Amino acid sequence: MKHRIVVLGAGYAGANAAGRLARRLHRDDVEITLVNGDPEFVERVRMHQLASGQDLRPRPLRDLYAGTGVQVRTARVTAVDVEGKTVDLGGETLAYDTLVYALGSTTADHGVPGVAEHAHNVAGKQAALRLRARLSEVEPGGTVLVVGGGLTGIETATEIAEARPDLEVAIAARGRVGGWLSEKAQRHLRGALDRLGITVHDHADITRVEAEGAVTDAGEQIRAQVTVWTAGFAVHPIAAATALEVSGSGRIVVDAGMRSVSHPDVYAVGDAALAEGAGGGPLRMSCASANPMAWLAADVIAARLTGRRVPRTTIGYSVQCISLGRRDGIIQRVTADDQVTSTVFTGRTAARIKEMVCAGAAWSVTHPTMMMPSRRRHLAATEAAETRLLTRS
């Protein structure tokens, strides 16, 4: 009988894992099934673009994996039985020998009242489309508040402000918007926010969201017709409901090969996994983590099934990429353990690098049978691209 591999989720992590497994293993020996709730691959790093009114290229999963041997199932995962080694797809049961759990994350409201009732988000395609529809209803002079001063919040606020200069856009953060960036990057960010007319509310901890805006811990009300919540992500509760060892946040605890520390036939990748990166800290929820986690997990699974040497590597980072609309951006160099350095690229050059990085992440999914890079080759390619763009600038 063929060894049954089931991959749950077709975001960057799950889609890359399925494609790499198909390349590493022979279809006569394994049966790979990819389960996803949406029939298309969704470029999550572009959801702020979708919300602002831009159209994204459709990428049907069945077309992407045609001829690879990967079976695509469009279904919602409702439960996982790691003892019985089955997955519940809403009334139908799917059995596995090896499971790759990549169900990703959704918006975390942190218990703030009113978020679920009154706030929009860009955590997924349907949420981004709802925000897009709501923004189209707002008349010129209308107000939009983005809550969250991290990567997602900055990109969402700047994208909306650029696409809709007729709106009054504001961004609020518990600390300082972009406060973790280097001094040069922060200066450029502030200039971009000013240029786009975005009002910044630093040190504004939002404690309640209402139909007409939000309230800070100081009692200040920030008026807004549309509130967009980007203040963090949380994993789906499915893993925590199983016998898998999970962290306090519900992420599956894995070893250096992305293998569950409690159930060796389960691997977890992407936002759903708590994995150690360079420097000993946990890898952050991001596309930058998801892709190398997926590549490593697939290589480890293939090695164990074929008797080859199990690869050992440590995942680290090279840059943080931030788009500031379509023609501006920040490329912040970081150490392998994600600490910012003084090296920063900004402006159109940074925007072009960011677009190249996003396109490369999508390419790895849309070409599932092509050889995907190791982390070292991936970083070398990124650095080469940066050098070429800087030379042309």
Instruction: Based on the fold, state whether residues 116 and 209 are members of the same structural domain.
Output: yes
Instruction: Based on the fold, state whether residues 214 and 237 are members of the same structural domain.
Output: no
Looking at residue 239, its pLDDT comes to: 97
Instruction: Based on the fold, state whether residues 68 and 142 are members of the same structural domain.
Output: no
CA pair distance 176, 314, nearest whole angstrom: 31
3 state SS of 381: helix
Q: Any residues with CB less than 8 A from the CB of 48 and at least 6 apart, and which?
A: 122, 128, 152, 155, 156, 159, 160, 323
Instruction: Based on the fold, state whether residues 72 and 58 are members of the same structural domain.
Output: yes
> Is the pLDDT assigned to residue 49 strictly greater than 60?
yes
> Is the pLDDT assigned to residue 388 strictly greater than 90?
no
The per-residue pLDDT for range 190-226, each reduced to its tens digit, is 999 999 999 999 999 999 999 999 999 999 999 999 9
**Residue listed under structure tokens 């080469």:** 384
What is the domain count for the chain? 2
Looking at residue 369, its pLDDT comes to: 64
pTM: 0.92
Q: Which two tokens stand for residue 382?
A: 């990124």
Beta strands 206-210; 213-216: pairing state: antiparallel
Residue that terminates a domain, selected from 196, 229, 262 = 229
Beta strands 329-334; 340-346: pairing state: antiparallel
Average pLDDT over residues 97-104: 98
Beta strands 226-229; 119-120: pairing state: parallel
Instruction: Based on the fold, state whether residues 203 and 113 are members of the same structural domain.
Output: yes
Nearest to 365 by CA among 31, 103, 5, 60: 60
Looking at residue 364, its pLDDT comes to: 87
Instruction: Based on the fold, state whether residues 157 and 260 are members of the same structural domain.
Output: no
Residue that terminates a domain, selected from 294, 315, 336 = 315
> Is the pLDDT assigned to residue 372 strictly greater than 70?
no
Question: Is 58 a member of any domain?
Answer: yes
Looking at residue 380, its pLDDT comes to: 42
Question: Is 335 a member of any domain?
Answer: no
Give the residue numbers spanning the domain of 296: 3-106+233-315
The per-residue pLDDT for range 305-356, each reduced to its tens digit, is 999 999 999 999 999 999 999 999 999 999 999 999 999 999 999 999 999 9
Looking at residue 17, its pLDDT comes to: 97
Q: Which two tokens stand for residue 142?
A: 């209308």
Strand partners, 72: 34
Q: Mean pLDDT in the chain?
A: 93
The per-residue pLDDT for range 251-308, each reduced to its tens digit, is 999 999 999 999 999 999 999 999 999 999 999 999 999 999 999 999 999 999 999 9
